[in-house]
A and B are shown apart, each in its own frame.
Chain A
Amino acid sequence: ELKVEQNPLFLSMQEGKNYTIYCNYSTTSDRLYWYRQDPGKSLESLFVLLSNGAVKQEGRLMASLDTKARLSTLHITAAVHDLSATYFCAVENTGNQFYFGTGTSLTVIP
């Protein structure tokens, strides 16, 4: 079974600071996804990364994928309170099944 690990699990950061969330996975995959989940809500798609070296940016969030290292990063630039949420990466296997990371609970402190 594909294993997906995220770190850190919990992240408390001040507004205006930068930080990176890491997602490591255990087997070959060219498809990685990032999601955001607000408390009590479903998952919102943030990024779809479909090839080695893919980089996507939306606002203060930037995601990248290194398939050789089996690593994706979600970089947060100049954090604001609205970014407080839980962030999940997910890796798709050849059977179109998703395996989710452990999640990173982000709290941005004013």
Chain B
Amino acid sequence: SAVISQKPSRDICQRGTSLTIQCQVDSQVTMMFWYRQQPGQSLTLIATANQGSEATYESGFVIDKFPISRPNLTFSTLTVSNMSPEDSSIYLCSVADRVYGYTFGSGTRLTVV
């Protein structure tokens, strides 16, 4: 299955600042997905990122708050902008793998203070 390197693994940020999370995949993939997992909760899809086009955002998530880049078929970034304590969550990227089920990055644990 694909191997995803996600960084940073964790960060503590001041409110009002922005954090960019990176995911690097060891193979070319058409779609990458970004999820948020709030403390004690399930995963919620933020957006789907295709190379060469704008990301598609789920209801409740907007590009101004969570801009996404997808410059090539192996890399994507998610930025959490103008952070508030409510943004404290784990953020995960994922790629489709029909054999093993979708593969997830190791996650970024974000704490906003």
Q: List 11 A-B contacts (CB under 8 A).
A: A35-B101, A41-B107, A45-B1, A45-B103, A48-B99, A97-B45, A98-B43, A98-B102, A100-B42, A100-B43, A103-B41
- Write out the residue numbers on chain A whose beta carbons fall within 8 Å of the beta carbon of B33: 97-98
Complex CA gap A106/B59 in Å reads 30
Chain A residues bordering chain B, tally (CB within 8 A): 22
User: Given A1-B59, A42-B107, A43-B92, A99–B102 Cβ distance below 8 Å?
Assistant: no
A102 adjacent to chain B (CB < 8 Å): yes
A25 at the B interface (CB under 8 A): no
Report A's interface with B, CB cutoff 8 A.
1, 33, 35, 40-43, 45-48, 88, 90, 95-103
Interface residue ranges of B21-60 to A (CB < 8 Å): 31, 33, 41-45, 48, 59
Say yes or no: B100 contacts A102, CB within 8 Å: no
Check B42–A45 contact: CB distance below 8 A. no
- Contact partner of B106 (CB less than 8 A), chosen from A42, A48, A100, is A42
Measured between alpha carbons, how far is A97 from B44 in the docked complex, in Å?
11
For residues 70 through 112 of chain B, which have their beta carbon under 8 Å from a beta carbon of chain A?
92, 94, 96, 98-107, 109
CB-CB under 8 A from B104, the residues of chain A are 42-43
For the complex formed, measure the closest distance between the CB of B49 and the CB atoms of chain A, giving whole angstroms: 12
Query: CB-CB < 8 A to A101: which residues of B?
Result: 42
4 more CB-based (< 8 A) A-B contacts, given A41-B106, A88-B42, A98-B43: A42-B107, A43-B104, A96-B96, A101-B42
Contact A33 B42 (CB under 8 A): no
Residue B48 contacts which of A35, A43, A45, A97 (CB distance < 8 angstroms)?
A97
Partner of B31, one of A40, A47, A48, A96: A96
Tell me the bound Cα distance from A105 to B44 in angstroms: 17
Instruction: Return chain A residues, CB-CB under 8 Å to B48.
Output: 95-97
Give the residues in chain B near A46, CB-CB below 8 Å: 101
Bound form: Cα–Cα A98–B79 in Å: 21
